Amino acid sequence: METKDALRQRRSVKVFDPNRQVTDEQLAELFELTTLAPSAWNFQHYQFIVVRDPEYKKRLREAAMGQEKVEQASVTIVVCGDLHAYKRARRVAEEFADKGFYGPNGKEKVEAQARLMYDTYAKNPQKAREEALRSASLAAMSLMVAAQDMGLATCPMIGFDPEKVRKVVKMPGHLFPAMLISLGYEGDFDLPRCARLPLNEVVQIDRYGKAFNPES
């Protein structure tokens, strides 16, 4: 499938087929594609908790305002942001140096670069959280587009109680739930897509106030 088609056809599917399951092989391919998403300094500030046990799905549904798709879909993925991703700073800096991103004699820069990356977030928890939410969200979008390409349906969700979700999946304190994504096969869902704002309401050229009006 063309990426353009995947973007055009992706929907937030509200009804899933409860009888069709996603396999481990499909999940492996999906997460291999998902983790190719960009992240600041390649820290990969995310974890994915795939909830597929019926009992866990039931409890997750209760934590997600009773949304039926959480239980109906083959799996519901808790996309978590990782507040401690910066602790991988040295590993990341070493790979950057090994792969030539720091130029010649890059090894000599590892210490300073690792310290810079580490301190940026260790000293600013709000920045660490924003970065984690950004990276987790970019990965979530990649996951949904990849799923579309694989013939699977998704629905992202923010309708949940974060502390209840944390309890259900036993999430440690350095993670937080960024969103849930139900994943599976589309069921009897035929609602049309809601309209998008016209481009001249969301795209500005050069400065705010100069709306984009493409010549057609």
Ligand X SMILES: Cc1cc2nc3c(=O)[nH]c(=O)nc-3n(C[C@H](O)[C@H](O)[C@H](O)COP(=O)(O)O)c2cc1C
Query: Which residues of the shown chain bind ligand X in the complex (CB under 6 A)?
Result: 11-12, 14, 67, 155-159, 179, 193-194
Q: Is 2 or 25 the residue whose CB approaches ligand X more closely?
A: 2
Q: Which is nearer to ligand X, 78 or 155 (CB)?
A: 155
Closest CA to 186 of 156, 161, 153: 153
- Can you tell me the distance from the alpha carbon of 147 to that of 162, in angstroms, rounded to the nearest whole number? 25
Report the alpha-carbon distance of residue 91 to residue 175 in Å, rounded. 20
Q: Residue 186 Cβ, how far from ligand X at the closest point, in Å?
A: 12
| Residue closest to ligand X when measured from CB atoms | 159
Q: Which is nearer to ligand X, 97 or 184 (CB)?
A: 184
Question: Smallest distance, Å, CB 72 to ligand X?
Answer: 12
Q: Which two tokens mark 159?
A: 């309708």
* Residue 131 burial (CB count, 10 A): 23
Rounded distance between C-alpha atoms, residue 148 and residue 12, angstroms: 11
Residue placing its CB nearer to ligand X in the complex, 49 or 144: 144
In the complex, the smallest distance separating the C-beta of residue 183 from ligand X, rounded to whole angstroms, is 14
Taking the complex as a whole, how short is the minimal distance between the CB of residue 116 and ligand X, in angstroms? 31
In terms of DSSP bridges, do strands 46-51 and 75-82 run parallel, antiparallel, or are they unpaired? antiparallel
